[in-house]
Structure 1
Amino acid sequence: MDITIHRPEELTETHLGAWHRAMDESPEYANPFLAPEFALGIGRHRGGARVAVLHEAGRPVGFLPYERTALGTGRAIGLGLSDCQALVHRPGVSWDVRELLRACGLSVFEFDHLVAEQRPFAGHMTGLFASPVIDVKPPGDGGYAQWLRGAYPGLARTTLKKERRIGRDVGEVRFVFDERDPRMLRRLMRWKSAQYRRTGRMDRFARPWIVDLTEHLFRVREEHFTGVLSVLYAGDRPVAAHFGPRSSTVLAAWFTAYDPDLHYYSPGLMMHLRTTEAAGRHGVTLVDLGRGDKEYKDWLKTRELRVGEGFATRPHPVAAAHRLWRRPVRGLRNTVLAHPRLRAPADRLLRTAGTLRTSRHGRPERRTAP
């Protein structure tokens, strides 16, 4: 098998067409994070972005997007942002991991949301994790809303009651699935940034390149990747918003946030329900909620996929050092997340730190301001 290495912007129309066909031929590769458009977006902001193209009989049959450092360590493209990673390939294609890493000039390739069906990488996975999804039309009669009412009748009644209440208190509720006003995207990023700070998490939108990437992906409108901004309004007031990419059949739940002054109405949950229902009317069959243990995901999911975390390596001193440094950090995080008795105190500690940080530094003007 021949392997060539390209910067994302160097991919030809032949490459892009073959990549899109590979996505269409295998349901596990239909996720928009696996589309070339996502790699192209990352490549605009990350100088180490590359794509390994696998060839059989002179034809491109597989694509691995990744990021490479000067030391020759690699990571799945958009690691920390992407909720789905894979070497996207035509059915029946296989590869040797060490040969692939050698062609890429990598001593190690780190991943954390790798499609579990990637058999050549199986021996390099340090763990498999649940990634909850929503089948927009689950098994049985009726649609998703009817399934949810049957599975969680109390949750459904409470959510509808709160939606009626916000309609009375604030204004008539309306929902826009594909909002094209960039001001609403900037508002979502401000809400999300404030949420990150309140809860003690890393503020992704404090990084200008992530803001620029999000704004770029918002403008992409292709069959295999479209940036979709959905907004829930009460009257003329935005209440909650979600931005995530979609392919022809899969919508990725990426950034969801809401007006914190209206938190008692549970606008985030309303947002997820409205988005899922509307996505089904626009041809989506699966909503990917992303890896992670959250109560709302347990409520909303119809089933789970599996994604892998790990390090593919070849013999090299840098690979050994990288693994020794990164694996304990990931192991500690996964231990905390897997045990509610540890996760709850850790979450409270992060929230306390976020409160102290916000009160100490105030609310500085953000890069996302209109």
Structure 2
Amino acid sequence: MSRWRALQESDAAFDNPFLSPEFTITVGELRDLVRVAVLYDGQDIAGFFPFERHPMGIGKPVAAGLTDAQGLIHAKDLDVDPAKLLKSCGLSVYEFDHLVSGQPLLDERHERHPSPIIDLRDGYGRYTASLREHSGKTYKSTLAKGRKLQREAGTLRHDYATTDLAPLRTLLGWKTDQYRRTGRTDRFSHQWIVELVERLLATQSESFAGVLDMIYVDDEPVAGHFGLRTRTTLAGWFPAYDTRFAKYSPGLIHHLAMAERAAESGIQVIDMGRGQKEYKDKLKNGELEVAEGRVARVGPAAGVHWMMRVPVRKTRATVMANPFLLKTADKALKTYGRLRTVLQG
């Protein structure tokens, strides 16, 4: 683990908790699919490649579908032949959707996407100054709604980096309601994901920890977030709020409070993850880059995988890139979510 950590901390591109050894180890305790390839340069360990091996030799990132940073953790300028790596790992294909920059697996065929961040390297004050300059209306209205929330509901309190399970379960309940309301698949219907989050909350060290924080009014929970951190990067993961307070924009109120406390604790970057969300556009003051695609060896399994996955991915990318199509798809999902809620009720 010490060598993994040293490699991770040697390159800013790897400064994400989803690339930390603790994350892979914890997922591996719950998922038999998890593997780690150790790469050598002579006698020296030069890299680690965490992955999941699925049937037919299909490789995916650890906790595929949940993570916003994926890839090898490796020494600078390490020469890696992707085909040889896949063969050594018993893989026909490795597919990814959040591969971090600078990876030896990347080439010009792979699609690049922005991953918005809250950059706190110059401090919270400088961050809010940039918000006032570029998103002044959002910043001022969020502060005003925070004051209104306190006038109408009670004193605002922020509990940052708590390890209490009770607020975590409240947060996951809100998130489940959000998934159902918007027509998305409820991730927390899978027990292993619930247990993963609980175990990560209990993991607390200087270099890696689960971070749960909530805001309250008169001790009633309003909004919160569960994510993971390294020493200097907090990865956004599961934000949610109580819809009874929706008119106050509790998610934005919470994110500003979280950014302030995170900066005080030494966090320099909050990585909000790839994806077009209105709150990300309003809060970001920078971007990273992640890639989507696959690497494959020639063979039947790779061909079957291409037919099953690549056309679907390209169609999805077309929808995401077109505002009209995206709005239409989102509306359809929300309609489905409302119907599902009525039928289940």
Same fold (TM over 0.5): yes
- Corresponding residue of 1:367: none
Which structure 1 segments of 5+ residues have no match?
1-15, 363-370
- Corresponding residue of 2:10: 25
Is the CA contact (8 Å cut-off) linking 1:31 and 1:250 kept in structure 2? yes
> Of residues 134, 141, 153 in structure 1, which corresponds to 2:118?
134
Bigger drift between 244-253 and 171-180 goes to: 171-180
- Corresponding residue of 1:116: 101
Q: What's the C-alpha RMSD, in Å, of the aligned pairs?
A: 1.4
Is the CA contact (8 Å cut-off) linking 1:243 and 1:256 kept in structure 2? yes
CA distance in 2, matches of 1:47, 1:220: 21
> Of residues 249, 253, 263 in structure 2, which corresponds to 1:266?
249
Per-residue deviation, 1:94: 2.1
> Of residues 189, 196, 200 in structure 2, which corresponds to 1:213?
196
Is the CA contact (8 Å cut-off) linking 1:125 and 1:309 kept in structure 2? no
Per-residue deviation, 1:227: 0.1
Partner deviation per Cα, 1:251-306 (whole Å, 9 max, x = no partner): 00100000011111100111111111111100010110100111211111111111
Per-residue deviation, 1:203: 0.6
CA distance in 1, matches of 2:279, 2:321: 16
Name the aligned partner's letter for residue 172 of structure 1.
T
Corresponding position: 1:44 with 2:29: yes
SS at match of 2:30: coil
Is the CA contact (8 Å cut-off) linking 2:157 and 2:219 kept in structure 1? no
Is the CA contact (8 Å cut-off) linking 1:116 and 1:128 kept in structure 2? no
Identity %: 44
CA distance in 2, matches of 1:142, 1:218: 29
SS at match of 2:49: strand
CA distance in 1, matches of 2:312, 2:81: 28
Corresponding position: 1:228 with 2:211: yes
- Corresponding residue of 1:79: 64
TM (norm. structure 2) is: 0.97
Partner deviation per Cα, 1:17-50 (whole Å, 9 max, x = no partner): 0000011110010100000111011111211100
TM (norm. structure 1) is: 0.91
CA distance in 2, matches of 1:232, 1:142: 21
Name the aligned partner's letter for residue 339 of structure 1.
N
CA distance in 2, matches of 1:125, 1:175: 45
Name the aligned partner's letter for residue 154 of structure 1.
K
- Corresponding residue of 2:85: 100
Partner deviation per Cα, 1:288-345 (whole Å, 9 max, x = no partner): 0100111211111111111111111011110111011101111111111111110111
SS at match of 1:190: helix
- Corresponding residue of 2:275: 292
